[in-house]
Amino acid sequence: MAKAAIASINHWFSLVLGRSAAASLAHHRLARVLQGLITAIAGKGVSIIVSLVSIPLTVGYLGAERYGMWMTISTLLAWLSLADLGLGNSLTNAVSEAYANDRRDQAQIHIASVFWMLCLVAAGFAGLCAVLWRWIDWSSLLNIKSAVARGEIGPAIAVALAIFLFNFPLSITALVLGAHQESAIANFWSAGGNIASLGGIILVTHLKLGLVPLIAAFSGSSLIVTAASGIWLFGFHKPWLRPAISAVRTASIRKLTTVGGMFFIVQIAALLILQTDNLIIAHFLGVRAVTPYSVTWRLFSCSTLIQTLLLQSLWPAYAEAHARSDGAWIRRTFRLSLWSCTLITVAIVLPLVVFGRTIIGRWVSVDAVPSMTLLVLMGVWSIIGGAFQSIVCMLNGIGRVRIQMVVGTMTAIANVGLSIWLVHVFGLEGVILGTLIAYFTVALVPFCIEIKAVLSSL
């Protein structure tokens, strides 16, 4: 028995490392998922190291208000990711289906259609911002107090927005690699971007150049790496997928926008749930209060690491398996991912709740230390949110988006309303409490019913 177990482990190690061929398509698919997970963990390790170094460095350099301003700008840009109209998510499923059917021509059509549509969206949004810019008072909108921060806010948002728009169409590179179950390669490029961003932060803080150059160095370095990955992918690795404008087809646009429309609504709901907290806190409590909440959120994001990293590999694997009608693999993999990820999340959350105040106090500063109540609520949210990530990943892969669109919208509306109400009653703790109440009262039962029906039908 022991020899058989050791042989099985050696076999899977050999598969993951690419030293032997898979005996079946299911084994090949799982090996690619494991490759993606392992490299994603390594890449996330790089990201965590970057955060461990950059957060105390930037908080100490900028101060609570200016750092909170930077995090608020990041939240605003997260909202702008909605401008892809769900096309990125629909592209993952479409290219995964083309890959399963060995249709390189169809994959190129979908990639070209999405790339040039995103270019048009970015150009249109840039023009809109140029027209409306002079009418927006960012200092009043974000409740900024200090003279230095008020002078930096406009240029800081302008630079962050420009880099974001240049990066917008280039974001398909990682999606294309993931759809071909080559997430491991995408993870290497992502790690390179994180390292470049850290180098930019260290340089700017050492030279004391201010918030605007800090944003330019942090985001611009990552943009350069992303552009290099696109040149490598479409110029050398898979030149047949190059998004030539001649490959754009209206039929592909119609298909992608139909599915993308549903993903778009799901994205809006997700951002209302996950990205409104900092804006609500900044508006009602001031941007200084964003710092302890944001730092605590980042700390607990480590507890859902496995789900987040699995998503980029499992989603296209589910889509490819669904295209081949391999329901048994989907059922087996989903149950394994749900239970294992939930148990891992619980194991990580418990020590973070117990020692979170000490960790944050020594990691960042005393000003960023949250209350114990906030730590407990963040822990509960991490466990619930982690389980939902596993569910949503599988539903996305098999194209069951409608239920997410309906339930997600209702949950998002409830979340925003409850958070705005409870922030007046409980302060910072009320914001995350509103999210938890919304999930338990609106989302839990419909999702459980949907998952049971899906697993039975597969």
How many domains is the chain built from?
2
Q: According to the model, what pLDDT value does residue 401 have?
A: 84
In a shared domain, residues 319 and 443: yes
Q: What is the DSSP string of 305-317?
A: HHHHHHHHHHHHH
| H/E element, 442 | none
Query: How many beta carbons lie within 10 A of that of residue 63, not counting itself?
Result: 18
Asked if residue 73 is part of any domain, the answer here is yes
Rounding to the nearest 10 degrees, give the CA dihedral for residues 110, 112, 117, 120: 180
Asked if residue 207 is part of any domain, the answer here is yes
CA distance 357 to 362: 9
Position with higher pLDDT, 373 vs 82:
373
Asked if residue 266 is part of any domain, the answer here is no
Final residue before a domain boundary, out of 259, 288, 316: 259
Across the chain, mean pLDDT equals 83
In a shared domain, residues 236 and 195: yes
In a shared domain, residues 171 and 300: no
Asked if residue 33 is part of any domain, the answer here is no
Nearest to 194 by CA among 225, 149, 151, 170: 225
Three-state secondary structure readout of 40-54: HHHHHHHHHHHHHHH
In a shared domain, residues 360 and 212: no
Alpha helices in 233-326 (DSSP H): 250-274, 277-285, 290-301, 305-323
CA distance 411 to 390: 18
42's CB contacts (< 8 A; 6+ apart) are 187, 191
Asked if residue 2 is part of any domain, the answer here is no
pLDDT, tens digit, for every residue of 126-162? 898 888 888 888 777 777 777 777 787 888 888 888 8
In a shared domain, residues 131 and 61: yes
Task: Tell me which residue range forms the domain holding 128.
Answer: 46-259
CA distance 109 to 104: 9
Final residue before a domain boundary, out of 230, 259, 288: 259
Q: According to the model, what pLDDT value does residue 144 have?
A: 77
In a shared domain, residues 341 and 203: no
In a shared domain, residues 241 and 290: no
In a shared domain, residues 305 and 213: no
Nearest to 342 by CA among 310, 312, 382: 382
- Please report, for residues 52, 133, 243, 272, the alpha-carbon distance to residue 125 in angstroms, rounded to integers and kept in the order given: 34, 12, 21, 21
Final residue before a domain boundary, out of 259, 286, 301: 259
Residue that is written with structure tokens 């076999």 in the block:
11
The phi and psi torsions of 21 (rounded to 5 degrees) equal -85, 145
Nearest to 168 by CA among 259, 273, 77, 44: 77
In a shared domain, residues 342 and 223: no
Length of the chain in terms of residues written? 458
Residue that is written with structure tokens 């150049």 in the block:
209
Q: According to the model, what pLDDT value does residue 108 have?
A: 92
Q: What is the pTM of this model?
A: 0.71
The phi and psi torsions of 264 (rounded to 5 degrees) equal -60, -45
Q: According to the model, what pLDDT value does residue 9 have?
A: 47
In a shared domain, residues 78 and 147: yes
Kindly state the average pLDDT of the residues 364-385: 86
Asked if residue 124 is part of any domain, the answer here is yes
Helix (H, G, I), strand (E, B) or coil at 133: helix
CA distance 360 to 72: 20
In a shared domain, residues 136 and 221: yes
Of 1-15, 89-103, 218-232, 361-375, give the lowest mean pLDDT range. 1-15
Is 428's pLDDT higher than 80? yes
Over pLDDT 90: what percentage of the chain? 16
Asked if residue 162 is part of any domain, the answer here is yes
CA distance 69 to 265: 27
- Please report, for residues 37, 289, 345, 351, the alpha-carbon distance to residue 359 in angstroms, rounded to integers and kept in the order given: 27, 19, 18, 10
Nearest to 411 by CA among 273, 281, 262: 273
In a shared domain, residues 71 and 191: yes
Asked if residue 201 is part of any domain, the answer here is yes
